[in-house]
Structure 1
């Protein structure tokens, strides 16, 4: 826990933080918003942190929300890391993208097209997998049905 003083009124940039906390295609922005909102103990901040704790696909964001809520004295449970697909139909989307590319496409071409077409999916898995993201994505790409 950090020893930062908790402030009970509202931050001037509350609306901006609220938007950032709900930005689907940027887990780092959501994490930053959770960290900032965790310095302001009020019902609106608590509600947003609880929402991130219970619904965010990226474990790091859920874990940060948990720690901030715990510091506020809220009765919360440590989040469990999700297994399997983090987003509905992720494997189908990845397969569709692979099939849309030429037969002899490279992993890098696949990765770039995924980033362009589904930044939300790319960002969620990048946030969840961390340093293992590239290895995971390349392994997933190579295991998708051959065209």
Structure 2
């Protein structure tokens, strides 16, 4: 369809929500049905810059279907990042661990992580998928000891 979706403002808001990759993926899946200027712009930004590869991949395939280009050249899907997705993740994890007074569970840690660093949490949770909790457990074991 070449018309503008009636809920375009809601879709813009969802696509800009950096704390929920599922919202961004939903907005891409809905926007790819509309071939208008606004949906093309949103899809292009997500295809080039989204931190979660699943969202970037979906936006990239929608961008290819629309024939979008960047400065006259076709868009390319970058490689999936390996290793640490955030340069300072070890410091972030240490700060979260040190914010607890005594013992804590992995679930408590996840909740605190989500509250203190929502963008980083969303990126790792989206990239890791089912292995996210196991990654947290392994990361906690490998962090430097408290002073």
TM-score class normalised by the smaller sequence: 0.7 to 0.9
Matched, 1:128 2:123: no
Residues 48 and 77, structure 2, Cα contact 8 Å, conserved in 1: no
Please give the alpha-carbon distance, in whole angstroms, between the structure 2 residues aligned to 1:57 and 1:119. Answer: 13
Q: Provide the residue aligned with 2:92 in structure 1.
A: 93
Which stretch shifts more, 76-85 or 124-133?
76-85
Q: 1:31 aligns with which of 22, 25, 28?
A: 25
- Could you list the per-position Cα deviations for residues 11-63 of structure 1 after superposition, in whole angstroms to 9, with x for gaps in the alignment? 00001101100101000000000111111112221111111111111000000
Task: Report the Cα offset of residue 98 of structure 1.
Answer: 0.8
Which stretch shifts more, 115-124 or 37-46?
115-124
Counterparts of 1:40-119 in structure 2, within 5 Å, are 40-74=34-68, 75-119=74-118
Alignment size in residue pairs = 141
Residues 57 and 87, structure 1, Cα contact 8 Å, conserved in 2: no
Which stretch shifts more, 116-125 or 101-110?
101-110
Residues 9 and 42, structure 1, Cα contact 8 Å, conserved in 2: yes
Task: Report the Cα offset of residue 134 of structure 1.
Answer: 1.1
Matched, 1:20 2:11: no
Q: Provide the residue aligned with 2:71 in structure 1.
A: none
Task: Report the Cα offset of residue 88 of structure 1.
Answer: 5.0
Task: Report the Cα offset of residue 67 of structure 1.
Answer: 0.6
RMSD: 1.6
Q: Identify unmatched segments of 5+ residues in structure 1.
A: 1-6
